[in-house]
Structures are given as structure tokens and as C-alpha cells.
Structure 1
Amino acid sequence: MEPRPRSFYLLAIFFGLFVLFLYGPTITIGILSFQGPGGGLTFPMRGVSLHWFHDLFQEQAVGDIWGAFRRSLALGLMVMVVTVVVSVMAGLAFRKRFAGSGLLFYLAVTSLVIPSILISLGVGLIFNQLGFKIHWATSGLGAQLTWTLPFGLLIMFAVFNRFDPSFEEAARDQGATAWQTIQHVILPIIAPSLIGVALFGFTLSYDEFARTLLTAGSYNTLPLEIFGMTTNVTTPVIYALGTLTTAFSFAIIAVFILTVWVIGRRRARRGSDAGKGV
């Protein structure tokens, strides 16, 4: 076996340091969250226990953690659904050029380069001027869609650029209507990509801070609640919260990956059965 060049090990070390840089803060918070009852916010650790995780589920003197979590979860699900639906519709529409399509595309992705706090301020001002109540489920939803929709659109554009139109032609030749073609041909084929868009939509919304800061109204989402706790909470309970929310995020990612794997397995099994004439 030919020995690896020195550059391989240098790049491997660089990559390892990069991963440590990315996940080091999260690992540190995870370690500090397992301190004993007398633990503080810094090293060295004072004992090892699950005390602060237990304390997290008790009534807190500051903040509404679980209410904020429910709001973030509900908002993330709403953003996910809207992002998937609009992205698919836009992907279907942009397969053919139409008047103003280029301008519309650039307007959609421009929000990615505008500072997030300005988006939050602008959406909040618009709702105020129109006389609407600023609320996490309305103005917060609108502000976060300016963040998630461009990603969903870009993914769908890439998917449909590679989509083979012969599948649709075959369906129409068999007498399928436009909706039947979408429902039974297009959506099943692009299902893994839809799951990716859904994952983007939910995770980007779940931890979004800046675009929600001025559009959440009187009730905080979880990122806003955690930010508020950093100025009031002086115990590792905030680290326990960070550890649980991180674990929840990884669990959501695992569920989406498992869903894609199951879809792939079903497709492979159907293809095998079709090949055998079953």
C-alpha cells in the first residue's frame, strides 16, 4: 500500500482543528451542564451530576423556557410547511421563463444578503404601519420566511434543472391530469429533496434570533428566551438548556435522515419487485 503524503496528514490536522473550532463551544457547554449542585458557569467543574437538568424542569424564577420552546417548535413547523409548499410551487413555475422571472428570482434571494436585523426592523415597521399586531406567529413568521424561502428556492431550482421531463410526458400519455402528474410522478421523485427543504426550513427557523428579535411581540421564542437568560441566570441551568436544545436539533436531523433512508429503501424494493415482474 502506497504511503500517504505528508500533505494528507497536514490537511487532516487542519480539518480536525476546524471541527473542534465548530463544535468546541457546544462541547464545553455540554460538559459544564453536568456539574454538581454547587457548580458555576466556568471551569473547573464542581462535581458531576444531573442536578441542573432536573432543575431545568422545575419552575424558573426567570423566564418561560417551556412556553418559549413550544412557540419555537410551532413557528418552526409553520415555517417548514410554508417553505416547502412555496418552494415546490416556485420550482414548478420557474421551469419555464415568464415575464419578470429574473427580477422575481433576484428579489427572492436578495434577502440573504440584507442584514438580518434590518429585515426584522422592516417587517416590524410594516406591521405597525398597517395596524397589525406584532406577534411571533404572524410578523415573526414573515421575517423568518425571508431567511428560509431563498434556500428552499435554490434547492428546488437545482432539483428541477436535473428533472427528466420524460416522466411527465409518459404520465400524460397514460391519460394523467396535471394534478395527477404532480401528485403521483413529480412529488414522489423529488421527495428526498423536499425533506431537505423541510429540514432547512425547520432548523433555520428554530434557532433564528436576529430576524425574530423585533417581530416576536410580547412572547419570546426559545433563542430570544435564552438570550434574555444570559443576563439574569447565573447557574449552569442555562447550560443544561443549551445541551437539551442541541440534542433536540440533532434528533430532528436524525429523524429527517432516517426518513430519507426509508424512502430510498422503499424505492429500491419497488424497483427490485418491478424487475422481477411482481
Structure 2
Amino acid sequence: MEVQTRGQRIFKFVSMAFLMLVLIALYAPLLVMTSLSFTEDQTSTFPPENLSLISYEKLLHPDRIELFTIAGEPITDYWAPLQLSLLLGALTAVVATVLGLSAAIAFRQQFRGRNSLFFVLLLGMIAPGIVVGLGIRLLATAIDLEPRWYTTGLLVHVGWTLPFSFVIFMIFLNRFDRQIEEAASMLGATALQVFRHVTLPILRPAVLASLLFGFTLSFDELQRSALALGQDVSLPRALVSVTTIRVTPVVYSLGAIIAIASLALVLVYLVVFERDAKKLYAPATAKDDE
């Protein structure tokens, strides 16, 4: 049994305390928001006193005007912006994942201009969002293209998420044992068969991570969407326009639902990742133990 020194114990304690503070800073606002969604009072404090499901009823039935009894309370239908954000996020995740995987596989080979192209692909990470959105809007105006979510909106979202997808696949491919592919080729498999039956199954955790990351980045994107979506309204744009008037528990209820759904997606990914890791690495580990 390894004996830790006093300095190591202090460092471990400080590290754990810092980690706990970070977790509290990240998740405490979600807990506060969720608790405030179960109140009817628009000026309630935390913890709420009068618990109610009225905010969820207003969220699900924005057409029932009689539910909105507080003066100045905005009546907003969030479902159309939510559907648009879900659709745009799903398309963005798929397109960015396909392009990111293709680019990462191409970078496994040496070619002229490889280093320059690498930094060009990563440029989308650091480029200011409002500048990118403005540039896409000006380009659409120059070529007489109407800015909509399925034209300039999809383009700017893919440009934003593609570098992250590319980095995810590069990380996984750098740890990839190419002898597995070479063995499949020596057994007579074509390049397509090797990719379909060998490379892609091993990269499935990376594919899922790219899809999840791309969807999340697209779903809450605001700066680039402000100018690139044109007349289409995504959920972040709808929330910004509403919260400038008044923040109500209806917004909290929507945030609570999104937070729970996001947590569920992460848990599903972790379960799938753990299952794939056991399937791929457990045999090798057992063989090494022998």
C-alpha cells in the first residue's frame, strides 16, 4: 500500500475542494432554476414557498390565455423555436460529423499543405461569432441568397461545429492501432469493407461524441445565428427576446426540461461508451492478465 506524504495529502484535499467548488458553480444554478420553475409567484425567492405546476402548464399550452393572469407577463409559444433548434442542431451534428470524420481520416496521410490546412480547419473555433455571422450575411446578400436556417444558418453552424468534430476524431485516430486495418486488408477486405466493419465500429464512441457535441453547440448558438438565420427564430433568439421584457417561471420550466434532457443524453452516451470500451478492450485486458 502506497503511503502518501503530508504534502501529497494536502494537495489532494485542495484539488478535491477546488473540484467541488467547480461542480457547485456549474450545477447549483440548474438546481435553483429547476426549483423556481415550480412556483406561481413571478417575484419568488429561493427556495420557493408556493409550489405549483402552473409554469409548466403555460409552457405546454401557450394558447390558453386565461392561464396568463399576471400583468405584463409575455405570452410566448416556445415550441416552434424549439423545433427549429432541434432540427437545425440534428442536421448540423450529422453534417459536421461526416465532414469531421472525413477530414480526420484524410489527415492520417501526409500531403502538401497539411499543416496549413490543419490550422484553417481550426480557425472556426477562434473566429468571433458575430464577425462570422456578419460575413455569412454579407455573402448571402452578395449572391442574392435569402438568409434562412437551411441555407446560411446551416452553413454557419456547420462551420462552428466542424473544428470540434475534427479534433474529436483526430484524438481517437491518434490512439488507433492501424495494424487492425492492415490485418483486415491482408485477409482480403476492400477499403470500404475495412472502413465499414473495422474502422467505423471502433470509432463509434467518437461518432457519438461528435454528434452530441455538434448538437449541443448548435442548439445554444446565438451570436452566429443572430444574423445568419434571417427571419427564422431559434430557441436562443426567442429566449433573449423574451427575457429582455421579463423573466418568468415559464422560462425556468423550459430550462429545467432542457437540462434534464441534456443530462439524459450524456448518461446514454456514457452507457454506450462504457459498453463499447468493455467490448473492445476487455478481451485484450484478459489476455494480458493471463
TM over 0.5: yes
Task: Describe the SS at the equivalent of 1:138.
Answer: helix
| CA shift for structure 1 position 179 | 0.7
> Out of 143, 153, 165, which is 1:140 matched to?
153
8 Å CA contact 2:100–2:169 kept in 1: the answer is: yes
> Which residue does 1:54 correspond to in 2?
57
- In structure 2, the residue matched to 1:185 is 198
Aligned AA (2:61): Q
Query: Amino acid of the residue matched to residue 16 of structure 1?
Result: M
Contact 1:62 1:229 in 2 (8 A): no
Deviations 1:179-198 (A, max 9, x none): 11111111111111111111
Distance change >3 Å, CA 233–CA 39, structure 1 → 2 = closer
Q: Distance in 1 between matches of 2:242 and 2:166?
A: 35
C-alpha RMSD over aligned residues:
2.3
Identity value in percent:
34
- Give the alignment of 1:80-229 within 5 angstroms: 80-229=93-242
Range with greater deviation from structure 2 (229-238 or 81-90): 229-238
CA distance in 1, matches of 2:83, 2:191: 39
Q: Is the 8 A contact 1:90 1:153 kept in 2?
A: yes
For residue 210 of structure 1, give the secondary structure of its aligned residue in structure 2. Answer: coil
One-letter amino acid of the structure 2 residue matched with residue 180 of structure 1:
Q
2:88 is matched with 75
The residue identity in structure 2 corresponding to 1:50 is L
1:26 maps to which of 30, 45, 50: 30
Given the superposition, is the C-alpha separation of residues 41 and 142 from structure 1 closer, same or farther in structure 2, using an over 3 Å criterion? farther
Offset at residue 266 of structure 1 (A): 4.9
After superposition, give the CA deviation of every residue in 1:192-230 in whole Å (9 maximum; x if it has no partner): 111111111111111111121111121211111111110
TM-superposed deviation, 1:265: 5.0
Partners of 1:159 and 1:254 in 2: CA distance? 20
Q: State how far apart, in whole Å, the 1-side matches of 2:250 and 2:37 are.
A: 7
Q: Is the 8 A contact 1:69 1:222 kept in 2?
A: yes
Contact 2:205–2:276 (8 Å) recurs in 1? yes
How far the C-alpha of 1:267 sits from its partner, in A, is 4.6
Report how far residue 112 of structure 1 moved: 1.2
- Tell me the CA shift for residue 163 of structure 1: 1.7
CA contact (8 A) 1:209 1:224 kept: yes
**Residue of structure 2 in register with 1:14 after alignment:** 18
Alpha-carbon distance in structure 2 between the residues aligned to 1:203 and 1:186: 25
After superposition, what is the alpha-carbon deviation per residue over 1:8-38, rounded to whole angstroms, capped at 9, x for unaligned?
A: 3333332222222222322221221111x23
What amino acid maps onto 2:87 in structure 1? Answer: A
2 CA distance for matches of 1:32 and 1:89? Answer: 45
Cα displacement (A) at 1:234? 4.4
Q: Which residue of 2 aligns with 1:40?
A: 43
TM-score, reference length from structure 2: 0.85
Residues 45-89 of structure 1, C-alpha deviation per residue, up to 9 Å, x if partnerless? 341122211111112664330011111111111111111111111
In 1, the alpha carbon distance for the partners of 2:220 and 2:44 equals 22
Separation of aligned partners in 2, 1:195 and 1:15: 27
TM-score norm. by structure 1 comes to 0.88
Are the counterparts in 1 of residues 140 and 146 from structure 2 also a CA contact under 8 Å?
Answer: yes
The DSSP-based 3-state class of the residue aligned with 1:19 is: helix
CA apart distance, 1:103: 1.5
CA–CA separation in structure 1 for the residues paired with 2:147 and 2:257: 29
Q: Check whether the contact 2:62–2:76 (CA below 8 A) recurs between aligned residues.
A: no
Residues 66/41 of structure 1: CA separation in 2 closer, same or farther (3 Å cut): farther
Match of 2:69 in 1: none
Alpha-carbon shift at residue 256 of structure 1 (Å): 2.2
CA spacing shift, 1:94–1:219, aligned 2, 3 Å: same
Could you tell me how far 1:268 is from its partner in structure 2? Answer: 6.8
Q: CA deviation at 1:152?
A: 1.0
Q: How many residues align?
A: 271
